[in-house]
Amino acid sequence: MARGLHLACAPFPFSKRSFPWFCTDTCLMIRFGRNRKVQSKKIIWRLKVLLIVSAPVWVPFLLFLLLLLLIVVPLCYLVVYLCIWFSWLTRGRDILFVYSDSPVWRDYMLSEMLPMVEGRAVVLNWSERSAWKWWSLRVLAFRLFAGTKAFNLLLVVFRPFRLAKRFRFYPAFHEWKQGNRDAVDKLRLEIVQTLASS
């Protein structure tokens, strides 16, 4: 009776003599966990000290990079805008038209959209991008105005001294593949209205 009460009140319901391997492994695990915590705290503390000590070096460098981005990126947009306004628009070219040879939309884009803007569009075929000249104005305009999402199937309308207006067809053709043409027809109507007012 006394032995049972002693076992119930003990931290573990067995003695070290009964299970020596368990007690040894448990103690090692506890010590290892404590050592890891101590080491992690030391590493974090050293990193903090290193960041504080090296702040006079990396803070000005980061500020320089930020300032460079704030100047260079808008400057690139301004230069490309000026080139388009005084090169394309003066020759009646105010649209960048980007398509690809995908069987889902190629026929529609070439038969429905391109004839509508052909006389005023600069055309790029995404499927032939390996032959693009990266320094050409049309490619630079695509890189700047297309973005990183839904950049294939794109129509960009440029207006003098105003921001460009972009029309992305990919989301609309995603619905097209599911049998819904409403999004494509709505986008086409928006383009027609924009072209009529520009």
Dump pLDDT digits (tens) for 23-71: 555 554 555 555 666 667 667 777 777 777 777 777 788 888 888 878 8
Q: Residue 150: left if φ>0, alpha if ψ -120 to 50, beta else—which one? A: left
* Rounded-to-integer distance, Cα 109 and Cα 151, Å: 15
pLDDT band at 5 (very low <50, low <70, confident <90, very high): very low
Residue among 147, 152, 149 nearest 169 (CA): 152
Instruction: Round to whole Å and give the CA distance between 169 and 114.
Output: 13
Q: Which two tokens stand for residue 3?
A: 């032995």
Q: Distance between CA 113 and CA 41 in Å, rounded?
A: 63
Question: Which residue ranges make up each domain of the chain?
Answer: 13-78, 92-197
pLDDT tens digits along 78-130: 999 999 999 999 999 999 999 999 998 999 999 999 999 988 999 999 999 99
